[in-house]
Amino acid sequence: MSPHSVEHPTIAVVGGGNGSYTAAADLTLAGYSVRFRPGSRRRHADVLRSGTITVTGLGRTGVARPLLVSHDLRSVVSGADIVICTDPAFAQPRLATLIASYLSDGQIVFLSPGSLGSYLMASAVRALGISVDVTYAEPGTLPYLTRKTDTCQVQVSSLAVHLPIGVYPAHRTDWAVDRLRLLFPGAHAVEDVLSVALLNVGPIIHSVLVLLSTAPIEHFPSWDIHNEGTTPSVKKLILALDAERIAVREALGYVAPHYPIADHYHPQGDREWMYGRGGHTDLVKSEKWREPLDFSHRYVREDVHETLALLAGIGDLAGVDTPLADSVLRLFGAITGCDHLHQGRTPAALGLGGIPANEVKRILREGRLRRSTAAATTGMNGRG
C-alpha cells in the first residue's frame, strides 16, 4: 500500500443523508481537511451554494466550512486518505460504480452502515475491471445518531462511545482501526466484517418497531417509533430477536462484547452500550425522530431487506435456527410483496452461499474474492 497521511488525514465524505452531513461538519470542526460530495445538485443546492453546515445538539457544535463542497466526485475522492460513505446499504452497489475510478492504493473506505458492504463493494469494483489496493472498514453502529433539521443544519442526539469496527481484509485490522480512531475515539477492533455485521442492531430494533407500528404508521402523518412505538411488550420481542443475533455470533466463535440491546434500554447495568449509558434517553429526549414513515423507508429497505435477511442467512451458515428473524421477514413480505428472506442480502446474494463458515472467515481475513461474487453483487438492487 502506498503511504498516506496518518496524523492529518484528508477526509472525503460521499453521501447526502443525515450521517454524511454530520460527518462532514463534525470532522471539519475537529480540524481535519474535509471534502464533501452530498449528492444531486438539485436536492443539495443549498449546501453546494453555501459550503457550510451548522451542527447543534451533542458533541462539537457550530458552523462548519469543509475545505471543499462539490458535486464533482473526482475532486472529492481522488487522493483522500479516508473515504467515508454513510448512505444506506442498498445504495452500495451504485456507490461502488460511482467512486471506483477515483479510488487509489492505500485508501480506507469507511462504510457506515456496512452489512458486509465491504465484500460487496470490493467485488463490484473488481467486476468493473479496476485493480486497486483499498482497505474497507465497517462500524457496528453509526458514529452519530443525527437528523437534518434544515437544508444545511443537523442536530446530533447521540454519539457513539464504543464504536466496534471490522476491516476487510481482516489482516489489516490494527492498521486501519488505528487510523480511524483519530476520527472516532471510541473505535475498537473486532475480528472481521462478519463479526461487526452481527453487532448491527438496526435490523433488530427497526424491524420490530415498524412491524408492530403498522397501523399508526399508515394512519398518522408522522410517528415516533422510538418513543410512542416502544412499549414493554414491543421490547420483549426486540430482546428475543436480539438473543438470536447473539446466538449466531457465539456459534461462529465471535467473542464479547456482543452489545446486547438490553444494555441500551437498561443503562443502569454493569455494561455500557455503544452510545453510552444515556444513549436511549438522549434519543427519546431529542424529539427529532417523529417522521413520516411507510414501507419503502430505509427501516424496511435497509434494516429488513438488507440486514435482517443477512442475519437470517448467516444463521443458516452457522447452523443456528433464527425463527423470529425468519418470521419477521415473512410478515414484512406479506405487506411488501417481496420475499425478503430469500431475495434480500443473503450470503448467497453476496456470492458466499454454500461455503462453510470457517472458509468464509478465511476469505474475509485474507481478502480473497470469489469469481462468482462480482456478478451477484453488481446485480443486487436492494429493493424492499
What are the pLDDT digits (tens) for 88-129? 999 999 999 999 999 999 999 999 988 999 999 999 999 999
* All residues at 6 or more sequence positions from 104 whose CB lies less than 8 Å from its CB, including other chains: 2, 78, 79, 132, 134
How are the residues of the chain apportioned to helix, strand and coil, as percentages rounded to the nearest 5? 45, 15, 40
Percent pLDDT > 70 in the chain is 90
C-alpha 207/C-alpha 217 separation (Å) is: 13
pLDDT of residue 271: 77
pLDDT band at 163 (very low <50, low <70, confident <90, very high): very high
pLDDT at position 193: 98
pLDDT value, residue 374: 45
pTM: 0.92
Nearest to 120 by CA among 381, 377, 380: 377
Question: For residue 305, which of 289, 325, 290, 324 has the smallest C-alpha distance?
Answer: 325
Q: Which residue has the cell 425478503?
A: 340
pLDDT of 155 reads 95
Average pLDDT over residues 252-257: 97
pLDDT category at 289 given cuts 50, 70, 90 is: low
The top-level CATH class assigned to 10-194 is alpha beta
- Which of helix, strand or coil describes residue 48? helix
Q: What does the domain layout of the chain look like in residue ranges?
A: 10-194, 202-346
Q: Is the pLDDT of residue 244 over 80?
A: yes
Q: Using the predicted structure, report yes or no on whether residue 135 has a pLDDT greater than 90.
A: yes
pLDDT of residue 377: 52
Helix (H, G, I), strand (E, B) or coil at 132: coil
pLDDT digits (tens, 9 = 90+) for 186-224: 999 999 999 999 999 999 999 999 999 999 999 999 999
Name the CATH superfamily, with its identifier, for domain 202-346: N-(1-d-carboxylethyl)-l-norvaline Dehydrogenase; domain 2 (1.10.1040.10)
Q: Which strands, in side-by-side order, build the sheet including 153-159?
A: 62-64, 53-57, 153-159, 144-150
- Average pLDDT of the segment spanning 233-248: 97
Query: What value does the mean pLDDT of the chain take?
Result: 91
Tell me, what's the pLDDT at 288? 61
pLDDT band (50, 70, 90) for residue 79: very high
Q: Are 17 and 87 in contact (CB under 8 A)?
A: yes
Residue 262: pLDDT over 70:
yes
- Amino acid of residue 230: T
pLDDT at res. 383: 32
Mean pLDDT of 69-87: 97
Q: Count H helices, E strands: the chain? A: 18, 12
Position 350 scores a pLDDT of 95
pLDDT at position 326: 98
Average pLDDT over residues 266-289: 67
**One-letter identity of residue 138:** E
What digits encode the pLDDT tens for the residues 292-326? 999 999 999 999 999 999 999 999 999 999 999 99
- Please check whether the two domains, 10-194 and 202-346, share a CATH topology: no
